[in-house]
Structure formats: C-alpha cells, structure tokens
Structure 1
Amino acid sequence: MTTTQPSPPAGRLIGTFEPGSPEWHAARAHGIGGSEISAVLGLSPHESRFSLWHRKQGNIGPVQESPEMYWGKKHEPTICAEFAERHPELLVLPSGTYVADDVPWWIANPDRLGFTADGELEVIEAKTAYDDFEWGDEGTDQIPVHYKAQVRWYCRALGARRARVAVLFGLSDYREYVVEPDDEDAHFMYVAGQEFMDSLAAGQAPAIDGHTATFQAIKEIPEGMDDVDVDIESALRDRYFAALAAFRAAEEEKRHASGLVLDQIGTGRRAVVGKDRVATRTVREGKTYSLQPARNRSTAA
C-alpha cells in the first residue's frame, strides 16, 4: 500500500510494556486505563468501582489473571495478524501506553494502531469470546458495553477517527466490529473519571455494592484477626439472614428445575425450545457432569 508518513497519535507515549507486567501496572497506577473506565462507570463484569479504588490505593493487589485473560493475551498476536492480513489498506503497527495531552490521568493502551493511506489513525483492539452473547451483527458497533467504553476511551485519548474490534469466537469464528467516537460519551467518561480521581485524592472510598470484585476486595483488605466481638446494626443482621434464606431457597429451586431439565434431556446433549438453546449437558465417564445454561437465555411472556 502507498501510505503517507503517519502522524504520531495524540497524547504522550510513556512506554511500551508487556500487558500485566509490573511495569505495565506501574504505568497505570496513577490514572485510568481503557479497561478500567468501565469499572468506574459500573459496567465491568470483572472489576467494581470499589475494588478498583482500593487497588489504586494499594490496599489490594493487581487483578489475578483469569483463564479468559490468559488466553485472550495469548491469542492477541494471531487475531491482530489476521486483521492486518484482511486490511492491506491499513498500516498496522504495535502500540504503546499513552497519556492524553490534556488529561494526565487518561491512559490509553490499545492492542494495535492502524493508519490509513492519508495518515489518519484508527484504534485496533483484539478480543476473544466464548460465544456471541451481547455481540450483534458483524460490522456494527453492537459489542459489550464495557468494550465499547474501552475503545471510545482510546479514541478520545489518541485522536483516532474510529476503533475496530476484531473478535475470535470459540476456535474459528472471526468477526470485526466498528465503533465510532462519541463526544457525549467521552464527556460522560471524563466527568466520571475526574470524580473517581478526586475520590482517590480525598481518600473517600466508593460505597460497597454487590459486585463479586467488591466482595473479594473486602475479604482481602483486612490483615490478621483480633479475637473480639464487633456489634453490628440489627437491620444489617436481619438483611444478612434474609439474604441467606433467599439464597438457600433459590439454590433449592435451581436444583429442582435443573433436575427436571436433565430428566427431559436424558442422554441428549442440549435442551432447546425451538431454535433457542436453553442449556447444555456435559458428560464425564458416561455420567452427567454439569448442566450449563445458555448465556443468551431469555424468558417468553
């Protein structure tokens, strides 16, 4: 391809670090990265505002790498190489870690940078997914909301004209999505990010919520044990006991309904209603090992 000399992205390059490395974490410690803004907004399935706040304060350690994160990182070079092969009209280059010119805590670390023939910048992000739950038709911007926030965060920081998200579903289903920048979204994220950074400076932790990451953070923060009794409010006691009772009832109903579904599946593999998948039965040594519900399940009226 014939390409003019690409202009460097907007923002200041602060380095090139291996994702997940101590240097990578250190570069993001005093700002908000693209994968973190969704936690600030309360949209992340992996991190809560509460857990991110305590992570930034050094009260808990870095996020532990999950199998999904590990394999996503392993597959990133392959997905990006496939993207580059399919887009000879773009000059695809490695990225680094940047800080926005006008907002010192706005951090961007996209997987790749793509430059058009006239030197314009596009952000390229590689993802892996078990299935296409929350993903729309290829070529649209219908992607999980936390990913949309991430790539729009990058676009604003780097002055990119758009973001392209390349996704590998399962082992062989490759698709691409396109997300345009949005000034209203960018302003909304800026306001939320500034409030979060102000709360860090003021030492004001976010409220406790029901996110799994919040509960894990609460368990990790205190160290040691004092052999003392601590009085709590009676209303909190009642709420706690009521939640335990509701959980036990829900677990019993889940077992009952799962047993009925498995009974109807018999030796089959999947339970369906028409074309809608309900659950999948897995087998080990000839016996049912688990019943996994479909992620895109819905209830009919």
Structure 2
Amino acid sequence: MKRLVNINEISHEEWLIYRKKGITGTDAGAIVGMNPYVSSMHVYQNKISDDTDQIDNEAMRQGRELEDYVAKRFMEHTGKKVRKAQAIFYNEEHPFMLGNFDRLVVGENAGLECKTVSPYSADKWKDGKIPLHYQIQCQHYLAVSGCECWYLAALVFGQNFIVHKIERDEDLINSLIKIEQRFWEDNVLAGILPDPDGSDTYTDAIARMYADSRAEKTIELFGAKQELDRRNEIDELVEKLEREKNEIDQKIKLQMQDAAYAEAEGYRISWVSSQSQRIDTKKLKEDDPNIYSKYSKISSSRRFMVKVA
C-alpha cells in the first residue's frame, strides 16, 4: 500500500476532499448492496459532488470520540499493541481503492477497525455474527493494505465488548476489486448513474433529473413486461402482508385496551396517546383567502402509477 496523504497535515474539509478521490472502506459495503443504511447511489452522488458538508449526528460523534477507548479495550483484551495510522492509504495496483484505517497492529501484518454499537443493534452481533457491511469494509482494507488479517473490535454500549479476527478471503477480495473498479470507472468517472438499487436516494435523484413531464409525449417500453408482471405480483403480496400485519396489530390492541405499554417475550410494545396541532388550510382559505395565498407554496411533482391494461 502507498500513503496518499498524512491526516495530521490536512484540515477536516481537505480530508473529505481526499476521500472523494476513490472508494473507501465505508463506501464498499454500499457499492455491493450490503449496507442497510447507505446506498450505492448515495456514494455515487458524494463522489461526483464538490460538496464537503457531511451529515453528522450524536451516534457518529460518539463513535469518533470513543475510538481511542475501543482501541485501548482491544489492547487490554488481546495483549496486542496498536498505533494510529495517521494517513489515507491506497492500493498501488488499484489506486481508486482507499483506506483510512483506525489502527495498525504493532509487530503484526494486521489492522484494527473500532466500532461502537447501540444496544438496539446488539442482536446483529449475537452468537458471533458480524454485520455484512462491516465484513466487506474489513476485506476492503485487506485489499488496500495487503495485510494478512484485520481485527474488528465492537463496544456494545452497556452490554458487551466483542473482538473478531477476519482472515483474508482472496475470492471475495478479487470480486470486490472488480465491483469497485467497475463502479469507479463506469459510473463515477463516466458520470453515469449506477444501476437502480431501490433506495429512496435513487428515487429522489430520478425525480430531480426528470422533474417535469411532457403531456404530449408517450413512449413504447420494450422488454419491460416481465418486470411489470413481477411488480404487479409484489403489489398483491404487499397488500396481503399489510392486511395480515394490521390483523396482528388489532389483536394486540384489543388485549392492551387502555394500557400505554405491553411486554411479550423478546418484545416491548407501546401504544401511547399524543396530540398534534395542525392548521385547517381548507377553513383558512375560506375565511381569509389573502392570508392563505400569501403563505401558500406551490410545489410540483410527478405521480408514478402502473395499471394492468
């Protein structure tokens, strides 16, 4: 691996810019469709954008600030020593593959990824399980670094401290390299949208690209019948499952009656009263049309419908 830039010599904004120069470990899981929180479309938009604003929240901040603590616990747990990498690295043979490692293990050809886990996500780590996007992240780091293994240390708040050793999987790494290279060259560098992934991010991007429709234009779709047939089957299945889910909810509510909370083995249910105040826009329009007009905002959108002919 080669050093792209020393982190301690650049600002946070410059760090974000450097991360746009390739695919990072946190991008990898999204690109292969294994990240339940981030889509490949989100990664694509981030890479082609000059925007360096980064969404931040309390969980992300705690993860950053507790990284040192997790690394310290790892050393206590394993007896190994680690050091900060203090750089963004890249794979010399595949320079689009970047690695911003949490730690490198001293005296061992290995690295360490530190995670903090909410108690609500603890089940994803039970019985030796590792979330798939974290496994992909570690294999990406193994591809970038050439290391023999990668350690994953996870602090589950108030419950547990977990350490996993992830060995190199050459078949997975080779597949990962091909997928990332195709995404980087055929999508990011070419400025072409990745394949649809079902995410809200992708839907929003299409809506922005084609915000207005032309009423006089109708096109013929070729090769879409099989997908539309499947879409119709899914619609029917969703309707059936929603009805079944509603029946279960109704049975539980009948048992709860006026109770705000209920418990069952492995579950805690809430049915709490709440109040909200909303403006009666219909009455406002009738009583004071000028005020209604002054504060009304016109928005446009396209409604997508599919009907069986």
Taking structure 2 as the reference length, what is the TM-score of the superposition?
0.70
Q: Which has the larger radius of gyration?
A: 2
Give how far 1:12 is off: 1.7
Q: Aligned residue for 1:280?
A: 268
Structure 2: distance between partners of 1:87 and 1:150: 22
- Residue 203 of structure 1 pairs with residue 191 of structure 2: yes
The gaps in structure 2 that reach 5 residues or longer are 276-309
Match of 1:299 in 2: none
Cα RMSD (Å) of the superposition? 3.6
Q: Which residue of 1 aligns with 2:138?
A: 151
| Equivalent residue number for residue 125 of structure 2 | 135
Report the 3-state secondary structure (helix = DSSP H, G, I; strand = E; otherwise coil) of the residue aligned with 1:98. Answer: strand
Residue 137 of structure 1 and its aligned partner are, at CA, apart by: 3.3
1:133 corresponds to which letter in structure 2?
D
Q: Distance in 1 between matches of 2:45 and 2:109?
A: 35
How far off is 1:189 after superposition?
0.7
Residue 54, structure 1, aligned to residue 38, structure 2: no
Residues 41-190 of structure 1 correspond to what in structure 2 (within 5 A)? Answer: 41-58=32-49, 64-115=55-106, 119-129=107-117, 130-138=120-128, 142-190=129-177
**Which residue of 264, 270, 280 maps to 1:271?**
264
Q: 1:69 to 1:251 in 2, by over 3 A?
A: farther
Q: What is aligned with 1:298?
A: none
Which runs of 5 or more residues in structure 1 are unaligned? 1-9, 290-301
Q: What do the CA deviations read for 1:140-159 (whole angstroms, capped 9, x no partner)?
A: xx311110010111122122
**Is 1:214 paired with 2:207?**
no
| Distance (whole Å) between structure 1 residues aligned to residue 66 and residue 115 of structure 2 | 8
Query: For 1:271 and 1:26, how far apart are their aligned partners in 2?
Result: 49
Look up the match of 2:24. Answer: 33
Q: Relative to 1, partners in 2 of residues 1:198 and 1:245: Cα closer, same or farther, differing over 3 Å?
A: same
The answer to whether the 8 Å contact 1:282/1:288 transfers is: no
State the 1:23 CA deviation: 2.0
Change over 3 Å in CA distance of 1:131–1:55 after alignment to 2 = closer
User: 1:120 is paired with a residue of what secondary structure?
Assistant: coil
Is 1:32–1:105's contact at 8 Å kept on the other side of the alignment?
yes
The answer to whether the 8 A contact 1:38-1:149 is kept is yes
Query: For this pair of structures, how many residues does the alignment match?
Result: 263
Calculate percent identity across the aligned residue pairs: 23
Separation in 2, partners of 1:233, 1:262 = 48
TM-score, with length taken from structure 1: 0.71
Q: Distance in 1 between matches of 2:95 and 2:87?
A: 16
Q: Which amino acid aligns with 1:122?
A: A
Which has a greater percent of strand? 1
Q: Is the 8 A contact 1:162 1:178 kept in 2?
A: yes
Residues 34 and 107, structure 1, Cα contact 8 Å, conserved in 2: yes
Cα distance between partner residues in 2 of 1:211 and 1:166: 29
SS of the residue 1:131 aligns to: helix
C-alpha distance 108-50 of structure 1, shift in aligned 2 (>3 A): same
SS for the counterpart of 2:95 is coil
Change (3 A) 1:101 1:145: same
Q: Which whole-Å CA distance do the structure 2 matches of 1:44 and 1:184 have between them?
A: 20
Give, in whole Å, the separation in 2 of the partners of 1:283 and 1:188: 47
Q: CA deviation at 1:100?
A: 1.6
From the two aligned structures, give the one with the greater helix fraction.
2
CA deviations 1:80-126 (Å, max 9, x no partner) are 222233333324335431112222111001211111xxx22321111
For 2:61 and 2:218, the matched residues in 1 are separated by 43
